Amino acid sequence: MSSTSQKHKEFVAEPMGEKPVMALAGIGEVLGKRLAEKGFDKAYVVLGQFLVLKKDEELFRDWLKDTCGANAKQQGDCYGCLKEWCDAFL
């Protein structure tokens, strides 16, 4: 998507540190809660999963859908956010 949300911009602007998982673009309260229940309480844990899946878009999106039930837009937002973060900081 050409346009990125405010959340995305904020997230990608700096190292994520201890930001909660809800700071990720595409992850709101509900999804954040579901992810936290599964143990992904911090954004870096989701980043870990993203890296374990070798930054593959399809796999990450599938995983996200299975884990917290994100829809396509949310998946895309989250993936884009993490990818850009990785490009910038990793």
Interacting residues with other proteins (CB under 8 A): 20, 36, 39, 41-42, 49, 52-54, 56, 58-59, 62-63, 66-67
Least gap, CB of 55 to other proteins (angstroms): 9
Q: CB within 8 A of 41, min separation 6: which ones? A: 20, 21, 35
Cα separations in angstroms, 81 against 3, 39, 76:
12, 20, 8
**Nearer Cβ to other proteins (9/37):** 37
In 3-state terms, what secondary structure has residue 27? coil
Q: Nearest distance from residue 66's CB to other proteins, in Å?
A: 6
Q: Looking at beta carbons only, is 4 or 57 nearer to other proteins?
A: 57
- If the CB atoms of residues 4 and 55 are measured against other proteins, the closer one turns out to be 55
Q: How many helices (H) and strands (E) does the chain have?
A: 5, 0
